[in-house]
Amino acid sequence: MKPVIIDVDTGVDDAIAILLALRSQELNVLGITTVSGNVEVDLATKNTLALLDLIDAEEIPVARGMDAPLIRPLVTAKHVHGSHGLGEYKVGASTRSIVQEHGVDFLIRTIKESAEPVTLILLGPLTNMAMALKKDPAIKENIDELIIMGGADAAGGNETPVAEFNIYVDPEAAQIVFESGLPITLVTWDATLHAWLTKNEVERLASSKDKAGKVAAKLIGFLGKVFHREQVPLCDPSAILAALDRSIIEAKQLPIQVETEGRITRGMTVIDTRPNRTAAPDDPRPRVHVAFKVDREKFSRLLMQLLTQSAE
Amino acid sequence: MLSTNQKRKVIIDCDPGHDDAIAILLAAGNPNIEIVAITTVAGNAEVEKTSVNALKVCEIAGLHDVPVARGAGQPLFRERLTAPDIHGESGMDGPQLPAPSKQLVEEHAVDLIIRKVLASDGDITLIPVGPLTNIAMAMIREPRIKSKIAEIVIMGGGMFGNTTPAAEFNIYVDAEAAKIVFESGVPITMMGLDLTHQALATPDVIKTLSAVNNKASTFVVELLQFFGKTYLEKFGFPHPPIHDACAVAYCIDPSVVETKRLRVDVETKGELTYGMTLVDLYGVTGREPNVNVALKLDQEKFWDMIKRSLEQLS
């Protein structure tokens, strides 16, 4: 089993991603850290606890992380995720409690205490990760890799024409993370446009014996209404499934930079996709495994497999 | 205003550093100051070195019970920059001191600052005399401290620069951190180069301090001999300015400086002006004044304070 920590801004697709992680046999979820992004961190935290309640999940440490991006004022995405961030689910009080520790400290401590190098699956703005790296750079020694949902190709943004939401919200944090030297797989917005389920597949999910399948179906249905289309891109789930089966994505190691100064291009991931170029030996840009494509068949097969198992 | 028998609680965030060391001694020897903690940052030298130096200074000052916590080793976004040409390889070249037996606490400086401020009655003053990385990180990490910090008394910035023509070292090393602090809404008093270049350790000053004739004063004189030499070589100053001590001096007795309340902003994007503190002297920006800018130093009072503190540290 691979030890992982999942960082979320729950968030409708974060919720589906968490369900997938919990249902997988191969991921040992050491904890979930929350961050402000799709919604404010307090809502993201509440939603995460509520989601765990919905499927009667086992006890998993949930740690509340950063309130706001490193230096920018927070931008949220409630027009996509609903005013509370969990679609149509009304979120009440949970009997679960969060850990006392701040999410950033939880990240640092859990990474350092792990017997094996930890994989971090980052599904929201990169504020927590950046703070952790700044506070204790030594954590890099016990990190296997980062799998990040974020970024986009040149004309492929969602929050703006050129920027994907997670990177847009905290471009400085993204820059710190990309420049950390850690192995990174970036599942871009472009890739997730291929990660959708057919109407039939969603119906099968809705009639799954597993509550997790039913919950996922309802959340996907909500996104379908928001996007006014059937082919709803499932962003955060793509990152989780890529962690389970790398062949789901097509990734290439490419130089990357984050635009932090631009007025119009804020948050753009400038990925060097120019063909037939060899990077100069002193090229300082970090290299990251960038996925622009998801194999839809493999994606849906694995997702369905995980969320339509018989009830345990 | 504090009553005369109420000590002013301070946390000194520093990168010793020659003038940082003198600032700590000034605070340690003065009955009006209670040093709650000392936190270290990368600046004049790497944080590992500034931390060792801080421990050494604490031993000379008899600060056995004051926690010293290590902080950020790098600026928020920039590449690390140090100043060995002024402060030497160790960050505090000059005096020969044994390895300290005092230890750092386990806690990270940022956590200590947050914890102490949140637990306080809003009566803690932060005295950052190095790059502002720790302070900014604490504010980002725990925005609630902003309403509980009594005052931040900074050594940094000015209306001209030393590291670049526009920028003073502390701000230049981490302008993004400085911007966060200057825009935080916390009451700020700034000892910029305009002020600190008036705190020159002339031969007369060195003679007076030398006459105190104890361990602390000997240490200070050795510091000033080294610091004076590098300042002459690098900047052509005949006498070195003891920047950081000005911030502590203000905390002991605010009347040691004359200040003017002005708008100050930090440039973080400029190619040539990165790290500049823009002091709106004539109020042309119309922006809300946010800083008490110290402009004039009562030199006699200042050096007298230092002499008295050293005398206390026998």
Residue with tokens 């024409």: A161
> Residue B141 is nearest to which of A104, A176, A261, comparing CB atoms?
A104
Strand partners, A14: none
- The whole-angstrom distance between B235's CA and the closest CA on chain A is 33
CA B65 to chain centre: 21
When the pLDDT of each residue in chain A is averaged and rounded to a whole number, the result is 94
Query: What residue has token string 């500049």?
Result: B276
Nearest to B108 among A68, A71, A135 (CB): A135
Cβ contact B140–A66 (<8 Å): yes
Q: What is the pLDDT of residue A58?
A: 94
A70 contacts in chain B (CB < 8 Å): 76, 140
Q: How many CA atoms lie within 13 A of B190 on its CB side?
A: 30
Are the Cβ atoms of A137 and B143 closer than 8 angstroms?
no
For residue A312, pLDDT beyond 80: no
Distance CA A81, CA A70 (A): 23
b/e string for A213-232 if b means 16 or more Cβ within 10 A? bbbbbbbbebbbeeeeeeeb
Local confidence band at A50 (pLDDT 50, 70, 90 cut-offs): very high
Asked if A126 contacts A186 with a C-beta cutoff of 8 angstroms, the reply is: no
- Amino acid of residue B32: N
- The shortest CB-CB distance from B77 to any of A131, A136, A172 is to A172
Q: Who's near B255: CB < 8 A, 6+ residues apart?
A: B298, B301
CA distance A281 to B4: 64
Q: Which residues of A touch B77 (CB under 8 A)?
A: 172, 175-176
Judged by a CB distance cut-off of 8 A, whether residue B42 touches chain A is no
Closest-CA residue of chain A to B71: A135
pLDDT, average across residues A242-254: 96
Report the pLDDT value the prediction gives residue A12, as an integer from 0 to 100.
96
Contact flag B140-A71 (C-beta cutoff 8 Å): yes
**Nearest CA to B214 among B100, B313, B95?**
B313
* pLDDT < 50 regions, chain B: none
Which residue does chain B place closest to A179, by CA atoms? B77
Instruction: State the pLDDT at residue B5.
Output: 60
Output the six-digit token pair for A24. Answer: 């997988």
Rounded to an integer, the average pLDDT of A17-28 is 96
**Residue A279 confidence (pLDDT):** 73
* Residue-level pLDDT at B314: 76
DSSP codes, A96-117: ----SS-HHHHHHHHHHH-SSP
Yes or no: say if A60 and A31 are a contact pair by the CB < 8 Å rule.
yes
Q: Are strands B257-266 and B291-297 parallel, antiparallel or unpaired?
A: antiparallel
Chain-centroid distance of CA B244 in Å reads: 4
Bridge partners (DSSP) of residue A185 are: A147, A289
pLDDT given at position B32: 95
Contacts of B79 (CB under 8 A, 6+ apart): none
pLDDT (0 to 100) of residue B86:
95
Q: Write out pLDDT tens, residues A174-205.
A: 999 999 999 999 999 999 999 999 999 999 99
CB-nearest partner of A131 from B74, B141, B269: B141
What pLDDT was estimated at residue A311? 54
Q: Per residue in A152-181, pLDDT tens?
A: 997 789 999 999 999 999 999 999 999 999
Phi, psi of B16 (to 5 degrees): -55, 130
Question: How buried is A21 (Cβ within 10 angstroms: 0-12 exposed, 13-18 middle, 19+ buried)?
Answer: buried
Q: How far does A273 lie from chain B, in Å, by closest CA?
A: 26
pLDDT at A229: 81
pLDDT at residue A107 greater than cutoff 60: yes
Look at residue B242 in the predicted model and tell me its pLDDT.
97
Q: For residue A154, what pLDDT is reported?
A: 78
What ipTM describes this predicted complex?
0.74
Tokens found for residue B123: 């009566």
Q: Assess whether B304 carries a catalytic annotation.
A: no
Closest Cα in chain A to B144: A67
Query: Which of B76, B118, B146 is the mutation pick for testing A, counting most A CBs within 10 A?
Result: B76
